[in-house]
Amino acid sequence: MTGSDLPSQLPELLPRLWSFALRISGDRHDAEDLVQRACLRGLERAHQLQPGTSALSWMFSIVHSTWIDELRARTRRNRSSTEWDDDMLETVADPAARTPEENAINNQIVSAVGQLPEAQRVVMLLVAVEGLSYSEAAEVLEVPIGTVMSRLSRARQTIGTLFGVRDNQKTKVVIASKDPVS
């Protein structure tokens, strides 16, 4: 893919970009503004998109860096960021939810992810929710792959502790799988 292909591919990327923006910002209006600003940046910088680079990963990176810029601006203005709100997730359709039991475990996992420190939460969202590989997440966040792996490991351990799981392997299954672990 090249930068000239971005305008035609952007509409199909919007739902995933908006979902990611909502998850990292925790606010519907912030997510809408974030996606708009990120799309504008992406289109303005489409010439920087390297051939062979995933447009989705590239746009995730722009959404993330735009959000970081917004958080810094809010800090300078002495405004705090919006707290994570699980009610906002009800506005995002979950195609994987099939039963009330699965919905319940998904809600517990979402709540646990919402309690993670920002760096761990973003890595968890990119890898476990958005399905990016470790190397793609590292590109998005502009950190070494080892940092992604470390943050993901700590996030899984924290969530495992919240669920009373002692074995890290079970935690990986709970977080990475759409089927509940018995």
Burial label for 72, CB within 10 Å (0-12, 13-18, 19+), is exposed
pLDDT at 165 over 90: no
SS (H, E, C) the chain: CCHHHHHHHHHHHHHHHHHHHHHHHCCHHHHHHHHHHHHHHHHHCHHHCCCCCCHHHHHHHHHHHHHHHHHHHHHHCCCCCCCCCHHHHHHCCCCCCCCHHHHHHHHHHHHHHHCCCHHHHHHHHHHHHCCCCHHHHHHHHCCCHHHHHHHHHHHHHHHHHHCCCCCHHHHHHHHHCCCCCC
As given in the structure block, the two tokens for residue 145 are 């792959």
User: Quick one: what percent of the chain has pLDDT higher than 90?
Assistant: 33
As annotated, the residues of the chain forming the CATH 1.10.1740.10 domain(s) are 3-76
Q: Which of 33-42, 125-134, 141-150, 170-179 has the lowest mean pLDDT?
A: 170-179
Between CA 121 and CA 178, with CA 138 as vertex, the angle to 5 degrees is 50
Q: Please tell me the predicted confidence (pLDDT) of residue 15.
A: 93
Q: Quick count: other Cβ atoms within 10 Å of Cβ 94?
A: 14
Q: Please tell me the predicted confidence (pLDDT) of residue 12.
A: 93
Cβ atoms of residues 124 and 113 within 8 Å = yes
As annotated, the residues of the chain forming the CATH 1.10.10.10 domain(s) are 94-176
Amino acid (one-letter) located at 80: S
Measured CA distances, 106 to 45, 54, 85, 97 (Å): 37, 28, 15, 8
What is 3-76's CATH number? 1.10.1740.10
pLDDT at 171 over 50: no
Fold of 94-176: Arc Repressor Mutant, subunit A (1.10.10)
Average pLDDT, integer, range 54-82: 80
